Each structure stands twice: as C-alpha cells, then as structure tokens.
Structure 1
Amino acid sequence: MSDPVIVGVDGSASGFDAVDLAAREAHPREAPLRIVLALGRPSVRLPTGTAPWNPGDQGLEAMALGVLARAEERAHQVAPGIEITRSVGAGEAFEVLEIESRSAVPAALGSRGRSAFAGLLLGSTAVRLAAHGRCPLMVVRGRAAPTGPVLLAVDGSPAGQAAVEFAFAETALRKAPLVARHVWNTWSEGAYEGPGDPLTAVVVDVAHLRETGQHLMDVAVASSQEDVPQVAVERRPVRSRIRPALIDVSRQAQLVVTGARGRGGFTALLLGSVGQALLHHAHCTVTVTVTVVRGKE
C-alpha cells in the first residue's frame, strides 16, 4: 500500500481547507488519506473553578469525533472513493503529527488553528513541523491561482534538491506549468559581505553573478528534468531581494515549493529564513521539503 497523505485537523476553517488539499493530493497518488486530530493539554491558564483537563472527557471526545466526521465528509466530497482512516492522538499537536509524518508523503496543515484549544493545531505547529517533520509539508495559505504554475525556489543547496524533486513530481500530478526561480543579488556566492543594499552594492562582475545563477539553476533541475521529461520547466534567474521576490510571485502561483534550509549563513537553523517567510506571507499553498533517511534520526 502507498504511504498515506496525512492531514492535521482541529475544527478550524483553515484545517478543513487543508483536508480539501490533502484529498486532492491523495487521489492522483492512489494513496489513502489519514485524518489526524491531536488532543493535548491546553497551554493556557484555565479559569478558577474549571474542572481539571481530561482527554477522556465525553464532551471533548464528542468534539473530536465531530471534527473527524466533518473532515471525512469533506474529503469524500473532494475526492469520492479515496480510502480514509482517522486517528486521534494524545499529546501536543506537533508531537503527534511528527510521528505521523514518518510514514507519510506528504502532510497537509492549515496555516492557522483554533486558539481556543491551545493544545491542538496552532500556527506554530506548521512552522515546527516544517523544520522537524519527516515528509514534505503542505501548508494552506491565501488563495492559490487555480491555473497558475508551480513555483520552485532554487538555491542550489543539498537540502534544496529535495524541493526540486518534489516540485517536478507534483507538477506532473497537477499537469501544471513549472517555473523554477533562483533569486540572486550582490550578496550571492559571498560576492558582497559588507553593509548596505544588496541590490545597489558595487561588485566587480554582476554579469558573472547572473551567469552563475543561471548555471546553478540548470544543474539543480537537470536530473529531475531527465526523470520527469513530460514537465516543461521555465528557468528564470532574477536579481532581487530573495524573500520579497518569492512572496510577490506567489500571487500568480498555485503552489510554492522550497527546501527547509538553504545556502544562508545560519546553517544551524532547521528551517531557513526563506521557508519561514513563505509560510507566513505567501499568497498560495507552500510546500517545505525535508531530506530525511527513513528510520534514522
């Protein structure tokens, strides 16, 4: 059986939007859909006189079952006939979903959850799962352009290669155009390390940086282009500020794909600044890919 597509739900509108996305992802993959709801201890201070938190409480159980039933109904409306399983996990949302992600490709979440259930799915869960999850994470954002391209952020890093492979495979499933974009500026390749604006700082050879960016893109997509030849990719290096440029072009895209880490100076960060910026500000669904050897830490 294929690895399942998993989706985290908590009863929020954003979570149900993620169910729609996950069902659309499961159908062409001929993969089962697994709907996951986490019940964790609330992190907010409960009012005086409130009964102690109890995950076995009948009211909480009824709420959970109701959310799962509604999510399953929506999934069947989007993709009739797909196999669906449900799971209620005891624990904080990130912990439950991280475990589920070990056997999933991909996982889907809403960008915001229900803050009234502080132990359930919150916006921070998406950021943490993007950094520490074990499969590509798709986070529903904004309003995707239904006929727009899949946008691939290319940085030439080893971690970014997983994003390239996922973007080609996803584009083939969606039968959509693929635009690979490498954004460069005068800080690229360590050409400029001083203060100031990376667009206006003086460097010796801007043409060389442009050629380097084009070569980086060509090398990054070459292997996937051979593996998925039916996908026509437009390679477009752009001189600009990286995060604003990618956020802006996401207005015309149906999906943005990026790696969890890039070529920046903060290599110890599990989720790079570009990935974080897209998760918070992109105008369409964002996929953050990870490079993980299954079964190993």
Structure 2
Amino acid sequence: MAIQWFPGHMNSTKKAIVDRLPDIDVVIELLDARLPGSSANPLLAELTAGKPALKLLNKQDLADAELTALWLAHYQAQPGTNALALDASETAPARQLIPACRALAPLRGGMVKPLRVLICGIPNVGKSTLINTLAGQRAALTGDEPGITKLEQKIVLANDFYLFDTPGMLWPRITVEHSGYHLAASGGIGRNAYDEHEVALALLASVRPRYAERLQARYALGELSTLSDEELLADIGRKRGGLMAGGRVNLQKAAELAINDFRSGAWGRITLETPDEFSTWWAAGQALDAERQARRERRQRSRGRQLPTGHGDSG
C-alpha cells in the first residue's frame, strides 16, 4: 500500500517557498540521517534548482556512522552542495552551518548584502530544535508530532545572516514505496496516514539484512534467518509483553513496540538505506510513475475517440 500525507497547509508552504526564493542565497535542507534519501524532498529539489545547497543530516547519533559517511560523500559530490552531519540539540555542531553557508555564497555578507538562508525539511525532522539551538532561545515551536510549525519565521543569527524557517513539507505523491514506509517509521508522516502493522513489517525487512544481531540482542531471539517478517514481529510481541488472553500475540502492540524502539534508538545506530539502494528505488519508482502516466493518457485518448451517445441523426 502506498503511503501519502499532504495536509492542506503544505500547499501554502510550497507557495511561501516559491515567493521567498528569489531573495534567497543558500538553501538548507534538513534530512534524517537514518533515511537521507527518503527524507530529501524531490519537490524542494525542483523548486530550488540552481541555488547553493547545504544538506544537514540530523539525528546522526541514531544513524550508522559508516553509512552517514557514505551519504555525506554522496551529497558533497554534487555541484554547489555541501553536507554536514549533526545532532540538532548540540550547539557546536549546529553553529558549523553558519560558516558552511558563507562558503557557499562568498559574495554575500556584511550589512549591505546580508546572507539570506532558507531552511526546509520534512515534518518532524528536527528543524525547530535546530533553530532554537542556533538562536539560543525558544525561537520555534518543537514537538514529537509532524506539522508543528505552520508559518514562515525569520531568525537573525548574526547582523548579516538571516535565516528563514518554513513549515515542514512533504510532496504530494510519494512514488518510492520504501520511502513511504521509512518516513512513516521515522515519524515524518502523520499517524492517520498509515497502518502501523504494515509499516513495522516493512521496517523489519529493511533492518534485518544489516542489523539482524541488533534485533537478536534487543529481544533475546535466536537465529532470524528462518523467520518471516511476520513471525519476527510476533516474536517481538511475545518478548515485550504483547500477549493477549490465550497466549495470542497482539500484533498491533508488537508493531508499536518495534516502531518506537527504532525511533528511540533502542536497536542501536541504524540507517535504513544507502545512496546506491535509494538510487535503485528512485529509478524504479520513476519508471512505475511513467507507466501510470502513460496508461492515464491512453485512457484519455480512448475516451476522446469514443463517439457521443444519444445524439443520433434527426429528421
């Protein structure tokens, strides 16, 4: 099942970004270091094409350090782009973004030509926490639910450094199935947009190939290779108090436990995708999207060729 979540305020966010962009020198995109490809907004990439970009991989303390290094190299190889990994609540790493932005726009700076930076990201990726860390005060609302920020904000980080914050924004249609599941597992999509049981199964399928031993250690499990994802989820429920009357497993509770353990870092430092994996998924998603579009156009042409009924010759 495809996962989609695009509340109405996201349309106004898109318009606010489009209106603001002509005055912007650098675009910061805050990503989730556990799913950098899936948390990168293709709509934002389209809107901000040609602008110097800084990719910030947040929650790096929850991500696999080796794969974070791969993702940083991936983004740093792109023209006009730099990338940093950080934890949004830590001041020293967060302050690195200021010189990084200045390096991307060396002709801007000083009171006559202040540097104007737009910061964007998906919901619940930690953008408000980062802004509060940078500003040294509660400049932005924070919370553990996506969609907290609803209005654009301007934050002055230095006399000649203006940061424009926008609400978290997804894109209208998620064409990469893995991305939908990874976003839901990370908390980037509203709870009413997905089924937790289905997301937990997809999450386990993503985690098992690289981190099976983490799951074994967390839940005191034996060999996992003979278990299906459904059986593994059931075993998690048994180990973590998800039993109902008669010894049956409450799979809904087991799914919630698995998702919460991933989000909290109880499985250790986990990254759900590599640059190569995401590139493969993206290409497959684009191909499927092109097929859907071609079928839609064929249906429209077919309807256009049909003669109207109920309009026979008269007289």
Query: So what's the TM-score if we normalise by structure 1?
Result: 0.31
Q: Which structure has more helix as a fraction of its residues? A: 2
Q: Would you tell me which structure has more strand in proportion to its own residues?
A: 1
Q: Which has the larger radius of gyration?
A: 2
